[in-house]
Amino acid sequence: MPEEKVGVVKDYFAKISVAGIDITGKLKVGDTIHIKGHTSDFEQVVESIQIEHDQVEEAKPGDAIGIRVSERCRGGDTVFKVTA
């Protein structure tokens, strides 16, 4: 499936399974993302997005967001949006 780069993981918070991501493209709730790095490689649907602990439906370039992830990821991993 075609993919478009939408961000980079800055931090991963293991206790709460949340990735802190700097966004370079548009991302919204319901999108499928693919996180890929040296040891990370998984896809999942974005179920919620938070900016400064506030729930939002969409993130735009320049936003720093937090999303719950299904697997471990690391700072520097690339975040792609899977496009249909």
Q: What is the pLDDT along the chain (84 residues), one digit of tens a residue?
A: 799 999 999 999 999 999 999 999 999 999 999 999 999 999 999 999 999 999 999 999 999 999 999 999 999 999 999 997
Instruction: Classify residue 62 as exposed, middle or buried by CB count within 10 Å of its CB (0-12, 13-18, 19+).
Output: exposed
| Residue 62 pLDDT | 97
64 contact partners, CB below 8 Å, separation of at least 6: 10, 20, 21, 22, 23, 51
Rg (CA), the chain: 11
| Residue 84 pLDDT | 74
Query: What is the model's pTM?
Result: 0.94
